[in-house]
Chains A and B, each alone.
Chain A
Amino acid sequence: MADYVHPDVLVSTEWVAEHLSDPSVRIVESNEDRALYTQGHISGAVEIDWQVDLQDQVCRDYISREDFEKLCSLNGISNDTTVVLYGDKNNWWACYAFWVFKLYGHANCRIMNGGRKRWQLDGREWSSDRVKYPHSHYTAPEQDHSIRSLRDDVLKHQKAGKPLVDVRSPEEYSGERLHMPDYPNEGALRGGHIPGAVNVPWVLSVNEDGTFKSRKDLEKLYLRDGNLKRKARTIAYCRIGERSSLTWFVLKYLLGFGNVKNYDGSWMEWGNCVRMPIVQGSAIAGYPVEKSPPVPSASTHA
């Protein structure tokens, strides 16, 4: 882990096992399948659900600053607590929750590398205890939009020809599918991708055991194959901003991109809005489909 650009955002399962009763640390689980936490969680971990706890249940948005303060307070999280997030599905939802904690400016957030999968593979214990902490005092600033892109920002960014990374599956990117493979169609009216976006499916960032790939592999994936630049303002998106939270985490912390944002409206907004520019078709590695890579000079084409 040590060779990532910001290695301090990751902790190992071993580190977590050693900090189970550290009062300055709060372990937080966030899953795709909510019943997993009830079935068994890391001793002392609280659950913060991406859907029920972090999203506003009426307006399509995250919870308000006040509700985020309440959520932290209820879970005994103070402004100076080290929040360690982990979960199922390669930490996909843990990264989503991490992003929301950063959106509200929480200083000290970590991801437990490998999530539930690695903890299980290491043969570590699960607890089914009900966890409760005394309420804490928490104050959050307004949302930090240096990590969040709204639709109009993305449109401006796209028109300016700046880099976008579409982290969905190749079939969603090309427009063959309106939803994730094996997930129900969640209602985008149009298929395809934002013009100019390269396609780097999020799941390529992780190993079989749920841990992140090495810096070298990630650099190959995003910098060489994906043709993305560390210094360029970059926006990541997917379907509802969940998978792209993981890519955002990889680009910002593991690879040290200076200015990367997550477009949480993502395809479920873009593909449903009137008059948004859309391109369909398969990607060429590192290039958007509508912009061909340069032809090598020693071309054998007739």
Chain B
Amino acid sequence: MNSVQTRLDRIIEEFSDLDGREKLELLLDYANSLAPLSQEYQSRKVSEDRRVPECQTPVFLWAEVTNGMASLIAEVAPEAPTVKGFVAILAAAIDGQPAAAACLLPDNVLEQMGLADVLGILRTRGLRAIVGRVNRGILNEMKPHDHHDHHDQRTM
């Protein structure tokens, strides 16, 4: 099992025994933990087309790969704390992890956390689109040799 999955499992476990209200409170804690954009990304926000079209409230995402390691940098409008919290969870799962594992985020994270029932079908579908976007974003940023890291890790 890769380290991204281990981190995700830990997050899923955090959520699992909570009632609906507590799950949303924990999601808000994650939302509040999302670091504000640095100066560099503030200016890149203006010059690059990084807005996620799947989200009505402005969401800007950078899924990046440096030396084979993934990171997720994002800005989400404060009026969308659910999206903000979910993006923060994805960032916590993949930051500093091998890109080859980070591009394989499962699309049923919300179901596993028990948040799908709290949020309902349509909201869950919208958030799932973000998972796809992060996976694709990392895949696009990966160099040919980055793809081997994950394989090496699994066979170690």
Answer whether A182 and B56 are a contact pair too, CB < 8 Å, given A33-B82, A49-B120: yes
CB contacts (< 8 Å) of A39 on chain B: these are 28, 81
Chain A minimum-CB-distance residue to B120 = A51
Choice from A33, A35, A36, A51 contacting B122 with Cβ under 8 Å: A51
- Name B105-139 residues within 8 Å CB distance of A: 117-123, 125-126, 129
B25 at the A interface (CB under 8 A): yes
CB contacts (< 8 Å) of A55 on chain B: these are 120
A15 at the B interface (CB under 8 A): no
Choice from A35, A88, A130 contacting B31 with Cβ under 8 Å: A35
Answer whether A182 and B79 are a contact pair too, CB < 8 Å, given A38-B21, A49-B120: no
Pairwise interchain contact A52-B117, C-beta atoms closer than 8 A? yes
Docked Cα-Cα span, A71 to B20, in Å, equals 16
The contact size tier of chain B is 20 to 34
Docked Cα-Cα span, A263 to B123, in Å, equals 22
- Name A46-96 residues within 8 Å CB distance of B: 49, 51-52, 55, 88
Q: Shortest beta-carbon distance, B105 to chain A, in Å?
A: 17
Docked Cα-Cα span, A186 to B129, in Å, equals 11
Interface of B is mostly: helix
Pairwise interchain contact B28-A34, C-beta atoms closer than 8 A? no
CB contacts (< 8 Å) of A51 on chain B: these are 119-123
Pairwise interchain contact B83-A33, C-beta atoms closer than 8 A? yes
A180 at the B interface (CB under 8 A): yes
Interface flags, A15-37, vs B, CB<8A=1, else 0: 00000000000000000111110
CB contacts (< 8 Å) of A38 on chain B: these are 21, 24-25, 28
Q: Shortest beta-carbon distance, B135 to chain A, in Å?
A: 15
Chain A minimum-CB-distance residue to B31 = A35
Pairwise interchain contact A33-B125, C-beta atoms closer than 8 A? no
Docked Cα-Cα span, A35 to B125, in Å, equals 16
Answer whether A34 and B53 are a contact pair too, CB < 8 Å, given A184-B125, A184-B126, A186-B125: no
Interface residues of chain A, those whose CB is within 8 Å of chain B, are 32-36, 38-39, 49, 51-52, 55, 88, 130, 180, 182-184, 186, 240
Closest 10 CB pairs of A and B: A51-B120, A38-B24, A35-B81, A35-B82, A182-B56, A184-B54, A184-B129, A52-B120, A33-B82, A35-B24
Interface residues of chain B, those whose CB is within 8 Å of chain A, are 21, 24-25, 27-28, 31, 53-57, 79-83, 85, 117-123, 125-126, 129
Could you pull out 19 A-B pairs where Cβ atoms are within 8 angstroms? Answer: A33-B80, A33-B81, A34-B24, A34-B120, A35-B31, A36-B79, A49-B120, A51-B119, A51-B122, A51-B123, A52-B117, A55-B120, A88-B79, A182-B53, A183-B54, A184-B125, A184-B129, A186-B125, A240-B122
